[in-house]
Amino acid sequence: MNQRDREGSSWKNADAVKDCEMSSAPSSSVICAFKVFQQELDTKHDKYERLVKISRDITIESKRTIFLLHRVTSVPDAEDVLSEAEIKLDGVRQKIGQIAEELRGEDIYQFHRAFTPGIQEYVEAVSFMHYISHRSLISLEEINSRLVFTRKEKVDPKGSAEALPPGVLTFQVTPSDYLLGVADLTGELMRLCISSVGNGDIDTPFQLSQFLRQIHEGFSSIGNTGPYEVSKKLHTLRQSLGKVEDACYTLRVRGSEIPKHMLADVFSSRTTLIDPEEGVV
Exposed, middle or buried: residue 180 (CB in 10 Å: 0-12, 13-18, 19+)? buried
Instruction: Fill in the amino acid letter for 62.
Output: S
Asked whether the beta carbons of 115 and 170 are under 8 A apart, the reply is no
- Spatial CA neighbour of 57 closest among 98, 110, 87, 1: 98
Q: Specify the DSSP element, H or E, that contains 236.
A: helix 229-254
Domain 1-173 architecture: Up-down Bundle (1.20)
pLDDT digits (tens, 9 = 90+) for 163-192: 455 678 899 999 999 999 999 999 999 999
What predicted TM-score, i.e. pTM, was given to this entire model? Answer: 0.79
User: At residue 247, does pLDDT exceed 60?
Assistant: yes
Asked whether the beta carbons of 20 and 28 are under 8 A apart, the reply is yes
Q: In percent, how much of the chain has pLDDT > 90? A: 46
Fold classified for 174-281: Methane Monooxygenase Hydroxylase; Chain G, domain 1 (1.20.58)
Asked whether the beta carbons of 176 and 228 are under 8 A apart, the reply is no
Mean pLDDT, residues 273-281: 38
pLDDT digits (tens, 9 = 90+) for 132-141: 999 999 999 9
- For residues 70 and 12, the model is more confident at 70
pLDDT at 279: 37
Pinpoint the residues of the chain covered by CATH 1.20.58.190.
1-173
